[in-house]
Amino acid sequence: MRNLIELVGRLVMHFLTEMGRVSFLFYNVLKKIISLPVEWQIIAEQMIAVGIRSIPVVLITALFTGMVLALQTYTGFRRFGAESLVGTVVALSMTREMGPVLTALIVAGRAGAAMAAELGTMRVTEQIDALETLATDPVKYLVVPRFLSGIVMLPALAVLTDIVGILGGYIITVGLFGVGSTSYWKRTWDYLKMDDVYNGLIKACFFGAFISIISCYKGFYTSGGAEGVGKATTGAVVLSSMSILIGDYFLSVWLF
């Protein structure tokens, strides 16, 4: 029992110190975001890496999520004759919840891992030190562009997820179960408010910040050679995913 308490205590302490150091990096990034010169080229490269390259997997995930949502909701709702509301449920779930969260989890696995591995390798091979000796601030040069691309690309991808998810729902409800096309769209638009979409996108924006800051932090403070880079990468994905799921709850409480 004593050991258990000790273990929990240590884990909590570890988590809190980690969060403290992440916040410090975040503060540094905010301070440097506005300072000139703007690293346009690297920002563009990162936007492509985080945003454009994630599109295929995001599209496939969104389509199938929309489809399975429709499938399950239809099966359930038919029991009390509410088939016509399937479109509403799909649209609300996608925009408020599934769109931002799924997109974020995918980007954490793809781009977050890549950020941690890339910066981690640069750290253990002294490339980050080399940047400093060439009078270049590594936070501004490496972390700020990744942060910006995170907070811009996540909402953009979430919009895509929303649209494709709703289309997936349409395909199943209208194509498979034969619900009328007009009634599906009417139900979707009747109950969906723009606020649902906006709040989902605000969430996505936060998730983009979580992923990029946590992954950059893990990479930036890597030590211990190739093994350290592996640990940093795994750590980045785990911590980002946890922060997305936990953050999702609190953001939902705050926004809705």
Residues that bind other proteins (CB under 8 A): 121-122, 125-127, 129-137
Nearer to other proteins, 169 or 219 (CB): 219
Nearer to other proteins, 127 or 183 (CB): 127
Question: Rounded to whole angstroms, how far apart are CA atoms 231 and 110?
Answer: 16
> Closest distance between other proteins and the C-beta of residue 114, in Å?
12
Element (H, E) at 17: helix 2-33
Nearer to other proteins, 75 or 136 (CB): 136
Q: Name the phi and psi angles at 21, rounded to 5.
A: -70, -35
Q: How far is CA 141 from the centre of its chain?
A: 22
Nearer to other proteins, 1 or 36 (CB): 36
Residue 14 tokens, joined: 């570890």
Helix, strand, coil: what percent of the chain each, to 5? 90, 0, 10
Question: Rounded to whole angstroms, how far apart are CA atoms 20 and 137?
Answer: 21
> Closest distance between other proteins and the C-beta of residue 127, in Å?
5
Rg (CA), the chain: 21
> Closest distance between other proteins and the C-beta of residue 137, in Å?
5
Question: Rounded to whole angstroms, how far apart are CA atoms 62 and 160?
Answer: 8
Q: Determine the angle formed by the axes of helices 99-107 and 55-78, rounding to 10 degrees.
A: 140
> Closest distance between other proteins and the C-beta of residue 138, in Å?
10
Contact indicator for 107, 54 with CB cutoff of 8 Å: yes
Nearer to other proteins, 131 or 171 (CB): 131
Mark 79-109 as b/e (b = at least 16 C-beta within 10 Å): eeeebebbbbbbbbbbbbbbbbbbbbbbbbb
Nearer to other proteins, 127 or 252 (CB): 127
Residue 61 tokens, joined: 């995930």
> Closest distance between other proteins and the C-beta of residue 133, in Å?
4
> Closest distance between other proteins and the C-beta of residue 244, in Å?
28
Nearer to other proteins, 6 or 129 (CB): 129
> Closest distance between other proteins and the C-beta of residue 144, in Å?
13
